[in-house]
Amino acid sequence: MEDAVILSDNTPCPLVTFINDPLHFPVNGCCHILAISPGGMGQIPSNKLYEDDTLLAFYDIDPQAPVHFLVIPKQHIESAAKLTEADAALLGHIYATIANLCKQLGVDESGYRVVTNVGADGGQSVKHLHFHVLAKRSLAWPPG
């Protein structure tokens, strides 16, 4: 049985539909995972790390660091460029959740990087706001 992620306007999110197995979900629409599999809808394995009423966190299926997970709002926001002052509480919750997850994963003291890509030149391939969290390796500056 599938459960849809319901957006704040009570419509199903085009981003993700979950199945009861917490380690897998089918993707429908515009998620980063779908961008890796451009063939369209399909069930792609993912290891869900955290979920609440407003956020979902899951490990990246193409990790760029030993710890690499994504945090996405369930509310559709195209990118950080579309954020407004009204999104301040959501952003605070996103960053507090990232800090809590990094503490649980034991990377809070060694350090981690939080990245969100905006627009084509910024490397955004998915038109839904999402935050990459990378840790457990040295991350150079400037990023490549």
Enumerate the active-site residues.
130
Residue 13: exposed, middle, or buried by beta-carbon count in 10 A (0-12, 13-18, 19+)? buried
Report whether 106 contacts 89 (CB < 8 A): no
Classify residue 63 by its DSSP letter.
Answer: -
Tokens 């197995």, located at residue: 21
Q: Which long-range contacts (CB under 8 A, 24 or more apart) does 42-48 make?
A: 43/19, 47/23, 48/22, 48/23
Pick from 117, 1, 14: nearest CA to 74: 14
Nearest to 66 by CA among 121, 135, 127: 135
